[in-house]
Structure 1
């Protein structure tokens, strides 16, 4: 089957775009207002309104995805029918130019607002800024980019293929020791780490928010040892198999360090998904998983309390004096109480009635976080399977789609 890396990258990118549209559609069907949650009204492109308002954000995203998918499918079909490898490469290059041209088209046509919001988010993610605000839509976009890290590495192979048209020699165009691929994989994590540092600097020193942002920065920083050790181990394997270099004595120590690094990163990331990004893991006694990293702040004794034990009636009365009656009524409707029961290890406030959805998401997220364990088996060789890396990328796109769905739901539940 003719399905080269160049079109695999385009397919994965458009699959992620379709997944984003599906996220918005399902959240809209659940009566969740996505615009205020994502802080879209605060963006510089908030005044653009040339898109179809009756379609909503998801309708415009789907329209753009359909156009890009049609262009990609046409390019793939023509490339598959081409008679020479050089012609196939040229057609793939023209497909990339057409897709990129549609996305950056300055005219106010074809979902202009969605395209400008996407490009603006990319600029804010890539360009360092330690003082500007970090919008939730940029955080979600940066996290989506981290899930496309393997695809960034594949882009190097695509660039080498296109460069071979000028050099007439793909080997000379792709002369690289593997460090370029490692750098491309690390870029999305560096962007997200910079956002965490920005939020940490803007938080009050010593506050729970500062602690949370610092711990989140540690999570993304733990990705860099995994990437470096993976590149070192791959290079040691090549040297050991070809006889180039000293010997293969570094294979076992490097692989052992990689296992430790990836185990810490994947388990810590899974804990963060559940405890912070989804705010799940609450017990009915008041303890929650997030307390492991950010301990709860003990409030000072309030009026009406004895030895720091606050009477609920007096606390509620004080709170009502600080807010309007309408706000207090709305808060009481959602505020968890000791008498209110909720599903075990979820949270008191849920926007979806399907309880199984939350449990299934936690289980699937864990399984997809530990796909690296297949490398420990001598019977499962992903790198030797047909399109093995491509199927792993599809699983990661699904995991991120699921994560985005509950990430926005958690913000709406707050």
Structure 2
């Protein structure tokens, strides 16, 4: 109450926001140290022979959700920068007024950062201490909780945003209507997470066949083994979704560039399936026929995708904007108004586009830590791709709203005003 003094005895003393934030950070570091210590001790309890298999199994269950958590953090950074640059991303993505801000995205990412490693630590601890059934229940409970939160029908946990995501995913899988910018934008992000979906499929497969916390699935030809046909099928799905989106766009707009874009996504299909043939072809046939074909398709996909990123998605035709900023925009000035940033983005995009084919290749997945690092780098590439892609879309929207009328239309408008008798001079 303004102007009214409150007795000291009845005043409520609240902690300052800075003090509360520091306390939360302290608790977070204590939690992180505790999880690391318990996890390390649990791994060291295992015998040397079983330790690698044990780590690989635990990593396979939790690595998809860890990568999803990383992507949510990066998306929050994207929205934060857009907010600083006054980029109307809600208008670009056609979001309603209840859309999540970067702070709310970071809040979701924080909870994911806490829950996923906690479940992983519990799995390591219980398995190493002989509680196999309880350990096997941990990833099952975590995946069930994630599915429940996404599908929860009540107005909590950001209901409108969750359903907007689910509706967009539905339109990606079944492109039966006109494609919006949000549809193919999210579909492009899903192509960078193809490995995540492949690992999710393998994890759910083991849960369904009751192979969690066992070593039965390590047999290559088992139902959920490394030679499973489902692995390349799931890897190729995001590219097929994007391919059919391009065909739908061509049907609606008649633009031939959408067919060229569809061709780009189709070049990923041979990379995935020819690589998987190594497990089903004779060694001589693989070395003489399929391996050269895989190398050729990998180079073609990498270079084509790189060209499309720079010239189409980012509209850096001829790299002219590297050397001359004729029409600077707010986002450009804030994010990448320096020339070296363009060199960095184009160079890193080329390198990471080439390494991305490593992850798509089934026969190169023996070192799971290397594949995890490449997948994380691909998400960082997509993270920086988002800035330029959204800015390009924003520039297109501005160009459409500020297109001047042709001279003939201006003369017609002038004649109508001069002949009108409904106004006073």
TM-score by length of 1: 0.72
Residues 57-68 of structure 1: pairs in structure 2 closer than 5 A: 57-68=101-112
Q: Which residue of 2 aligns with 1:344?
A: 323
| Equivalent pair of 2:322/2:342 in contact (CA under 8 Å) | no
| Equivalent pair of 1:189/1:220 in contact (CA under 8 Å) | yes
| Equivalent pair of 2:227/2:279 in contact (CA under 8 Å) | no
Q: Which residue of 1 aligns with 2:403?
A: none
Q: 1:116 to 1:230 in 2, by over 3 A?
A: same
Q: 1:175 to 1:8 in 2, by over 3 A?
A: closer
Q: 1:265 to 1:382 in 2, by over 3 A?
A: closer
In the TM superposition, residue 183 of structure 1 has moved relative to its aligned partner by 0.6
Residues 37-116 of structure 1: pairs in structure 2 closer than 5 A: 37-40=92-95, 46=96, 49=98, 57-82=101-126, 83-84=129-130, 85-116=132-163
Residues 284-363 of structure 1: pairs in structure 2 closer than 5 A: 343-344=322-323, 348-350=327-329, 351-353=331-333, 354-355=337-338, 356-363=340-347
Q: Which residue of 2 aligns with 1:304?
A: none
Secondary structure at 1:165 match in 2: coil
Counterpart check, 1:196 vs 2:176: no
Q: How many residues align?
A: 325
Q: 1:405 to 1:235 in 2, by over 3 A?
A: farther
In the TM superposition, residue 361 of structure 1 has moved relative to its aligned partner by 1.0
- The answer to which of 63-72 and 192-201 deviates more is 63-72
Secondary structure at 1:75 match in 2: helix
Residues 132-211 of structure 1: pairs in structure 2 closer than 5 A: 132-165=177-210, 170=217, 172-174=222-224, 177-204=227-254, 210-211=255-256
Gaps of 5+ in 1: 41-45, 205-209, 241-247, 285-341, 376-380
In the TM superposition, residue 12 of structure 1 has moved relative to its aligned partner by 0.6
Q: Which residue of 2 aligns with 1:279?
A: 315
In the TM superposition, residue 112 of structure 1 has moved relative to its aligned partner by 2.1
Partners of 1:118 and 1:107 in 2: how far apart? 16
Secondary structure at 2:285 match in 1: coil
Residue 250 of structure 1: which of 268, 286, 294 is its match? Answer: 286
Q: 1:348 to 1:253 in 2, by over 3 A?
A: farther
In the TM superposition, residue 221 of structure 1 has moved relative to its aligned partner by 1.1
| Equivalent pair of 2:313/2:392 in contact (CA under 8 Å) | yes
Gaps of 5+ in 2: 1-42, 44-54, 397-425
Partners of 1:96 and 1:111 in 2: how far apart? 19
Counterpart check, 1:23 vs 2:3: no
Secondary structure at 2:155 match in 1: coil
Partners of 1:88 and 1:34 in 2: how far apart? 43
Q: 1:190 to 1:383 in 2, by over 3 A?
A: closer
Q: 1:409 to 1:158 in 2, by over 3 A?
A: same
1:81-117 superposed Cα distances (whole Å, 9 cap, x missing partner): 1134443222111111112211222221122222122
- The answer to which of 93-102 and 60-69 deviates more is 60-69
| Equivalent pair of 2:194/2:234 in contact (CA under 8 Å) | yes
Q: Which residue of 1 aligns with 2:168?
A: 121
In the TM superposition, residue 173 of structure 1 has moved relative to its aligned partner by 4.0
Q: 1:36 to 1:165 in 2, by over 3 A?
A: same
In the TM superposition, residue 373 of structure 1 has moved relative to its aligned partner by 8.0
Partners of 2:156 and 2:355 in 1: how far apart? 41
Partners of 1:252 and 1:346 in 2: how far apart? 50
Partners of 2:358 and 2:64 in 1: how far apart? 23
| Equivalent pair of 1:280/1:347 in contact (CA under 8 Å) | no
Q: Which has the higher helix share?
A: 2
In the TM superposition, residue 63 of structure 1 has moved relative to its aligned partner by 2.1
In the TM superposition, residue 364 of structure 1 has moved relative to its aligned partner by 0.8
| Equivalent pair of 1:79/1:88 in contact (CA under 8 Å) | yes
Residue 402 of structure 1: which of 372, 384, 397 is its match? Answer: 384
Partners of 1:37 and 1:180 in 2: how far apart? 36
Secondary structure at 1:360 match in 2: helix
Partners of 1:373 and 1:176 in 2: how far apart? 18
In the TM superposition, residue 159 of structure 1 has moved relative to its aligned partner by 2.3
Partners of 2:259 and 2:358 in 1: how far apart? 31
The higher radius of gyration belongs to 2
In the TM superposition, residue 138 of structure 1 has moved relative to its aligned partner by 1.3
